[in-house]
Amino acid sequence: MTSWLPLSPAERSVAIEVLVHGPLSRTELARRLGLSQGSLTRLTKPLLESGLLVEAAGAGGGAETRQGRPSQPLGVVADSCSFLGFKITGDMVYGVVTTLRSEVTARLDRPLTTHDPAAVAGMVADLAAELAEGRPAPAGIGIGVGGLVRERAVVEESPFLGWRDVPLAALVQERTGLPVVVESDVAALAEAESWFGAGRGLDRFAVLTIGAGIGYGLVLGGRRVPFAEEGRGPGRHWIIDPYGPLTPDGARGSAVSLLTIPSIEYQIRAATGRDTGYEEILAGAAAGEPLASRVVDEAARALGTLVAQIANFALPQKILLAGEGVGLMDVAGTTVHDTIHAHRHPLAAVVDLETKVSDFHDWARGAAVLAIQVLVLGEGRV
C-alpha cells in the first residue's frame, strides 16, 4: 500500500498541494508554496521516484518550458488506491468508495436493524468488503457518526445510536485489518469540503448543517478548529429568539427548536394534531398555507440570523449550508438573505453563502476524506 509517512513536513506540503489543487505546473507550485525552483526540485525528486507524484501528461495546464526543455504538470495517481467512507445514522449505514482525490466510484447502503456496537461494526466490515471487491486495494476507512467522538476513535456519545464510550475504530479495524478513523459527521463534512469542496483554498471557511440537528464546523488557516461541543449539537443552546417556540429537544427559541426538521414537524403536529412531513410543510408554505408559512418563515429568519452571527464573529470567506433540511432555501431563501442583511453592518460585504443539496452519501464521502488525511498526514491512526 502507498505510504506517505516517511515524508518530511516540506515534502508533505508539496504532496498535499498537488493532491488538493493539482495537477500543477512546477512554476505554479513553487509560487503557491513560496519556494525557489531549486528547493522545489529537491523536494519533488523523492516524491516522483516513489510514485506518489507523476508527470501528469495531458492532465490540464499544458507543458511549461523550464531551462529550455518542456516540463509536464505534476499530479497524483488518483486511482492508485481506494478509500472507504461510512455514515451511520439511527437506521441506515451508507457507504462509498473513493479515489485518492475523493471522487466517489461506488455506493452501497444497508438498513441498520440493531444498535449493538459489535453488530454495527460487523455490518461496516461486510460493506467494506463488498465495496472493495474488484477495486484498487483500500488504504483506510473513515466513519462519520452523529455524536461526540474522542481521539478520532471512540464514540463518546451518540444520541441517535444510544451509544456511550464505544471504541468503534478498534471494533472495525479488528474486522477489516485496515486503518480506521472515526469523527463526528459534521467534522468529516467540514474536512472534506475544506480539502476538496466549497472551502478548497480558503483560509477561513464555515460549514452549517440543518436537518435532524444543527451542525457547525469552522476552518481557520486551512485547518478545522475542534471545539468542546462538537458533535453534541451546539444549536440546542444557540438562542436565536428567547420568545420563540419551545420544543422537546432544545431550549426555547434555540436554533434546534426553530430550524431542525423534527422541531418544525413538531410545531405543525402540536397545532394540528396530525403528522406532517417536512417536504409537505415546505410545499404548504410555498402554496401560502398560513400555519406552514408562519413556521417556515420563523425558521428562515432563524437561519438568516444564525448565518449573520457566524459571518459577524468568525469572519469566514464563505459559509456552506448543507444537510437534509436545505430545501428551506428553495421556499424561503429571500427571507433568509433579507435577515442576513438586516443583521449585518450596512457596509459589510455580502456573505458568500453556498447551499449544497446533499444526501447521506455526501456525508459518507466526507468520512472517506478522513481516511485520505490519515494516509497523507499520518494522523488519527488507531
Q: What is the pLDDT along the chain (382 residues), one digit of tens a residue?
A: 455 556 778 888 888 888 888 889 988 999 999 999 889 888 888 888 777 788 876 444 444 444 544 468 888 878 878 999 999 999 999 999 999 889 999 999 999 999 999 999 999 999 999 999 988 889 999 999 988 999 999 999 998 899 999 999 999 999 999 999 999 999 999 999 999 999 998 999 999 999 988 999 999 988 899 876 666 667 778 899 999 998 888 789 999 999 999 999 999 999 999 999 999 999 999 999 999 999 999 999 999 999 999 999 999 999 999 999 999 999 999 999 999 999 999 999 999 999 998 788 999 999 999 999 887 776 544 3
Q: Tell me, yes or no, whether 59 and 95 share the same domain.
A: no
Q: How many CB atoms within 10 Å of residue 274?
A: 7
Q: Tell me, yes or no, whether 325 and 233 share the same domain.
A: yes
Residue 90 structural domain: 82-191+361-377
94 within domain boundaries: yes
Q: Are 172 and 180 in contact (CB under 8 A)?
A: yes
Which of 34, 51, 75 terminates a domain? The answer is 75
173 within domain boundaries: yes
Report the C-alpha gap between 307 and 339 in whole angstroms: 9
Q: Tell me, yes or no, whether 30 and 65 share the same domain.
A: yes
Q: What CATH number should be reported for the domain holding residue 16? A: 1.10.10.10
Tell me how far apart the terminal alpha carbons of the chain are, to the nearest angstrom: 17
Task: Give buried/exposed letters for 357-367 (b at 16+ CB in 10 A, else e).
Answer: ebebbbbbbbb
Q: What CATH number should be reported for the domain holding residue 120? A: 3.30.420.40
Q: Tell me, yes or no, whether 144 and 63 share the same domain.
A: no
The length of the chain, given as a count of residues:
382
Query: By C-alpha distance, which of 57, 42, 44 is closest to 18?
Result: 44
Q: Tell me, yes or no, whether 289 and 369 share the same domain.
A: no
382 within domain boundaries: no
Q: Tell me, yes or no, whether 187 and 236 share the same domain.
A: no
135 within domain boundaries: yes
226 within domain boundaries: yes
| H-run or E-run covering 150 | strand 148-150
Beta bridge mates, 64: 71
What 3-state DSSP class applies to 245?
A: coil
2 within domain boundaries: no
Q: Tell me, yes or no, whether 153 and 274 share the same domain.
A: no
Number of domains in the chain: 3
Q: What pLDDT, on a 0 to 100 scale, did the predictor assign at position 377?
A: 74
Q: How many CA atoms lie within 13 A of 69 on its CB side?
A: 0
60 within domain boundaries: yes
Report the C-alpha gap between 267 and 295 in whole angstroms: 7
4 within domain boundaries: no
Task: Give buried/exposed letters for 279-290 (b at 16+ CB in 10 A, else e).
Answer: eebbebbeeeee
For the entire predicted model, the pTM comes to 0.85
Q: Tell me, yes or no, whether 148 and 94 share the same domain.
A: yes
Q: Looking at this protein, which amino acid is placed at residue 284?
A: G
Q: Tell me, yes or no, whether 277 and 342 share the same domain.
A: yes
Q: What pLDDT, on a 0 to 100 scale, did the predictor assign at position 233?
A: 65
Which of 50, 75, 100 terminates a domain? The answer is 75
Q: Tell me, yes or no, whether 301 and 366 share the same domain.
A: no
* Angle at alpha carbon of residue 375, lines to 49 and 371, rounded to 5°: 145
Q: Tell me, yes or no, whether 217 and 345 share the same domain.
A: yes
- Residue 32 burial by Cβ neighbours in a 10 Å radius (0-12, 13-18, 19+): middle
Query: By C-alpha distance, which of 140, 141, 137, 167 is closest to 154?
Result: 167
Task: Please give the backbone phi and psi of residue 24, each rounded to the nearest 5 degrees, phi first.
Answer: -130, 140
Q: Tell me, yes or no, whether 220 and 253 share the same domain.
A: yes
Which of 49, 75, 101 terminates a domain? The answer is 75
